[in-house]
C-alpha cells in the first residue's frame, strides 16, 4: 500500500491498473538504439486499452477476438512476445557479430593514437544492440510467463464464486504473497469481472456474492463449537453416572438402603448442576470426581452384584454390611462437598451485608443498637 502517494512506476500504469509503455520511453529507446525503439513501439501498439472504461472478461484477456463496438479489442499477447523475441534475437546477433570488429578497431586506434572517439562510439553502439536484444527477450519472456499464469489461474478458479488464495498458491505453485499480486493484476485487467476483489479478512479471491467468513469469525465459531462439544460431553458423562445410580437403586430391594442411594443420587445431581452452571468451580471437585465418586460407584456396583446372588453367606453379608455402614459416611461427605461449593457465595453475602449496613448507618437509616444486633 502506498497510502495514495504516487511512485515512479505509476507512470507505467493505466487507470485500470494494467501496465503501458509511455511515448517518452519509446523516444528514449530510439535515441539509444533504433531496434530497441521499434521493440517498445510494437509493445505499445499491442497494449490492451479500454475505450469505454469497462473491464474485459477473462476470455478476452486471454485470446484475440472481435468484440462489439464500444468495447475493447484484445491483442494476442503471444504474438507480441514472438515479435519482441524476433527483434531481440536480431539485435543480439547483430550486436554480437559486429562487437569483436569494433573492439579490434578500438585497439588499433589506441595504438595509432587517433580515431579513438569514433571507435568508442562504435563499441558502445554494438553494446547497446546486445543490451537491447537482451531486454527485448526478457520482456517477451515476462509476457509469456504472465499469460501462462493468467490461463492457469482462470483454470484453477473455474466457476467458483470465491476461492482461498492459499489454494491458488498451492496449485500454481507460488508463495501466497506473489499469488496475491498475480490475482490483483488479473482483477485490474478485468479477468473476473467488475465485482471481483481480494478479501484480506478471509484471504480469498471473491468473484461474486458475499465474502466467506473471516478468519476471526471462523476462529470464534470454532471456539464456540469446541466449548459446546466439551459441555455436551461433560453433560453426557454426568447423565451417564446418574443413570447408573438409578439403575443400581432399582435393582436393590431394600427400602432403607434404597433411600440412601436416592439421597446420594440427589446430592450428586446437585453437584453436577452447579458445575455445569459455573464451570470455574470444577477445579474444586477434582478429588471428588477423580476418586470419591468413582470409589462410591464401585462400592454400589459391588453391593448390587452381591445382592443379586440371592444368598446371605458370611463373606457376602459382611461385605454388604460394611457398604451399608459406609453409605452414611458417603452421604455426609457428599453433603459437605456440596456445601463447600457455596463458600464463595457465603463470603459474598457477608461482604454485601456488611457494606449495606455501613452505608445505612452512615446515612442514618438504622440505629447503632439495631446495627449491633444485626452484627
Which of 209, 151, 149, 208 lies closest to 178 in space, CA to CA?
A: 149
- Residue 204 has φ and ψ, to the nearest 5°, of -130, 150
In the block, which residue shows the cell 521493440? Answer: 39
What does the pLDDT look like over 64-103, one tens digit per residue?
Answer: 333 343 334 444 566 777 777 877 888 888 888 888 888 8
φ/ψ of 355, rounded to 5, equals -65, -45
Q: How many CB atoms lie within 10 A of CB 189?
A: 22
Whole-number pLDDT of residue 19: 58
Q: Any alpha helices (H) in the chain, and if so which ranges? A: 23-32, 34-45, 58-62, 77-112, 116-157, 165-171, 176-188, 215-251, 255-277, 286-287, 293-307, 314-340, 343-362, 368-374
Structure letter (DSSP) for residue 54:
P
Cis peptide preceding 145, ω within 30 of 0: no
**Residue spans per domain, the chain:** 8-157, 158-212, 232-341, 343-375
Question: CA-CA-CA-CA torsion for 150, 156, 161, 165, nearest 10 degrees?
Answer: -80
Q: What are phi and psi of 198, to 5 degrees?
A: -100, 120
Concatenated DSSP letters of 260-277 = HHHHHHHHHHHHHHHHHH
Q: Which residue has the higher pLDDT, 163 or 279?
A: 163
Chain-wide mean pLDDT for the chain? 76
What confidence tier does 373 reach under pLDDT thresholds 50, 70, 90? Answer: low
Q: What's the pLDDT tens digit per position in 326-362?
A: 888 888 888 888 888 776 554 555 656 666 666 666 6
Q: Flag whether the pTM goes above 0.85.
A: no
Separation of alpha carbons 255 and 258, rounded Å: 5
pLDDT(370) > 60: no
Taking the C-alpha atoms of residue 131 and residue 127, their distance in angstroms, rounded to an integer, is: 6
Looking at residue 294, its pLDDT comes to 87
Q: Quick check: 3 pLDDT over 60?
A: no
pLDDT(169) > 80: yes
d(C-alpha 45, C-alpha 13), whole Å: 15
How would CATH label the architecture of 158-212? Orthogonal Bundle (1.10)
pLDDT tens, residue by residue, 177-205: 888 888 888 888 778 888 888 888 888 88
Mean pLDDT over 105-111 rounds to 86
In three-state secondary structure terms, 65 is strand
pLDDT of residue 287 exceeding 60, the answer is yes
Beta bridge partners of 65: 74
- At 351 the pLDDT is 58
Amino acid at each position: 500500500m502506498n497510502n495514495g502517494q504516487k511512485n515512479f512506476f505509476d507512470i507505467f500504469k493505466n487507470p485500470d491498473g494494467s501496465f503501458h509503455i509511455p511515448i517518452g520511453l519509446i523516444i528514449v529507446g530510439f535515441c539509444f538504439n533504433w531496434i530497441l525503439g521499434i521493440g517498445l513501439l510494437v509493445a505499445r501498439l499491442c497494449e490492451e486499452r479500454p475505450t469505454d472504461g469497462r473491464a474485459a472478461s477473462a476470455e478476452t484477456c486471454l485470446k484475440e477476438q472481435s468484440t462489439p463496438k464500444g468495447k475493447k479489442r484484445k491483442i494476442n499477447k503471444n504474438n507480441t512476445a514472438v515479435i519482441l523475441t524476433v527483434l531481440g534475437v536480431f539485435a543480439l546477433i547483430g550486436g554480437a557479430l559486429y562487437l569483436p570488429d569494433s573492439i579490434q578497431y578500438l585497439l588499433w586506434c589506441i595504438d595509432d593514437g587517433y580515431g579513438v572517439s569514433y571507435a568508442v562510439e562504435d563499441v558502445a553502439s554494438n553494446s547497446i544492440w546486445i543490451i537491447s536484444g537482451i531486454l527485448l527477450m526478457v520482456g517477451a519472456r515476462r509476457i509469456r510467463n504472465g499469460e501462462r499464469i493468467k490461463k492457469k489461474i482462470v483454470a484453477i478458479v473455474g466457476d467458483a464464486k470465491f476461492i482461498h488464495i492459499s489454494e491458488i498458491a498451492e496449485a500454481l505453485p507460488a508463495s501466497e504473497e506473489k499469488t496475491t499480486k498475480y490475482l490483483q493484476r488479473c482483477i485490474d485487467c478485468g479477468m473476473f469481472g467488475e465485482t471481483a476483489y481480494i478479501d484480506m479478512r478471509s484471504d480469498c479471491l471473491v468473484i461474486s456474492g458475499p465474502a466467506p467468513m473471516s478468519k476471526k469469525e471462523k476462529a470464534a465459531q470454532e471456539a464456540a463449537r469446541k466449548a459446546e462439544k466439551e459441555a455436551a460431553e461433560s453433560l453426557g458423562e454426568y447423565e451417564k453416572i446418574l443413570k447408573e445410580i438409578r439403575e443400581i437403586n432399582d435393582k436393590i430391594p431394600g427400602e432403607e438402603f434404597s433411600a440412601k442411594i436416592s439421597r446420594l443420587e440427589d446430592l450428586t445431581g446437585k453437584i453436577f448442576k452447579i458445575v455445569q452452571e459455573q464451570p470455574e468451580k470444577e477445579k474444586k471437585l477434582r478429588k471428588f470426581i477423580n476418586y470419591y465418586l468413582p470409589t462410591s460407584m464401585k462400592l454400589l456396583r459391588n453391593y448390587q452384584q452381591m445382592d443379586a446372588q440371592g444368598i446371605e453367606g458370611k463373606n457376602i453379608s459382611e461385605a454388604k454390611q460394611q457398604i451399608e455402614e459406609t453409605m452414611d459416611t458417603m452421604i455426609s461427605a457428599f453433603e459437605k462437598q456440596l456445601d463447600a461449593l457455596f463458600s464463595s457465595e457465603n463470603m459474598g453475602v457477608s461482604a454485601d451485608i456488611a457494606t449495606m449496613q455501613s452505608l445505612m448507618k452512615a446515612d442514618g437509616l438504622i440505629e447503632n443498637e439495631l446495627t449491633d444486633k444485626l452484627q
